[in-house]
Amino acid sequence: MDRETEKYVKSLDYNKFVALEISGSKWKDFGFASYRCIQYEEYDLCEGVIGNEMFDIIIVEQVLEHCLYPYRAVRNLNSMLKPGGFAVITTPFLIMFHSSPVDCSRWTELGIKYLLVEGGFDLKKIKTGSWGNRACVKANFKPWARYLPGMHSLKNEPRYPLVVWAFAQK
């Protein structure tokens, strides 16, 4: 997932972007012209937009599964993007339930694509992908498994996605 999201963002003119990361700070040193992160409870993506601020890219990693109102969240995300702006979204699929604060939803590639369409994104401007395999799914039956090189295969088995990602342009 990280490889795919970084590859996608690097393919853009990101060093000129005003970026927002919602409920994370992984991207703070990536090289955006401007970067801001905002955390849940300070900001709830389901509740509305952030003032009159507009962004070139909004990164929402491992957040949508925690949204009580995912369609509302995606509409708000779309509303905060500048014309031509980009949304980078990742969400778990075959990963254990984790209620911090709540755990509500899982999407397949097709499901997240149409969630984004319902939120106002153009179907033709959405790219989705997924990654996972049986060994990684099994490893996550117990406490969260961290990847260690050689611990298990990174071969992708599309029928066993651990994570799903979507890249959408407004």
Q: How would DSSP label each residue in 28-88?
A: TTS--SEEEEE-TTT--TTT---TT--EEEEEEES-GGG-SSHHHHHHHHHHTEEEEEEEE
Among 111, 102, 117, CA closest to 63: 102
What pLDDT, on a 0 to 100 scale, did the predictor assign at position 14? 97
Q: Is the pLDDT of residue 161 over 90?
A: no
| Angle of helix 109-118 versus helix 70-79 axis, rounded to 10 | 60
What pLDDT, on a 0 to 100 scale, did the predictor assign at position 99? 79
**CATH superfamily of this structure's domain 2-128+161-169:** Vaccinia Virus protein VP39 (3.40.50.150)
Q: How far apart are CA 151 and CA 162, in angstroms?
A: 16
Looking at every residue in the chain, the average pLDDT score rounds to 90
What pLDDT, on a 0 to 100 scale, did the predictor assign at position 152? 66
- Any idea which of 13-17, 41-45, 105-109, 138-142 has the lowest mean pLDDT? 138-142
- Any idea which of 83-92, 120-129, 153-162 has the lowest mean pLDDT? 153-162
Instruction: Determine if the peptide bond prior to 143 is cis (ω within 30°).
Output: no
Q: What is the pLDDT of residues 51-107, one digit of tens each?
A: 999 999 999 999 999 999 999 999 999 999 999 999 999 998 887 777 778 888 999
CA distances from 61 to 23, 149, 150, 165 (A): 8, 23, 26, 9
Confidence of residue 150 (pLDDT cuts 50, 70, 90): low
Q: Which residues contact 51 (CB under 8 A, 6 or more apart)?
A: none
| Tokens, residue 20 | 């927002």
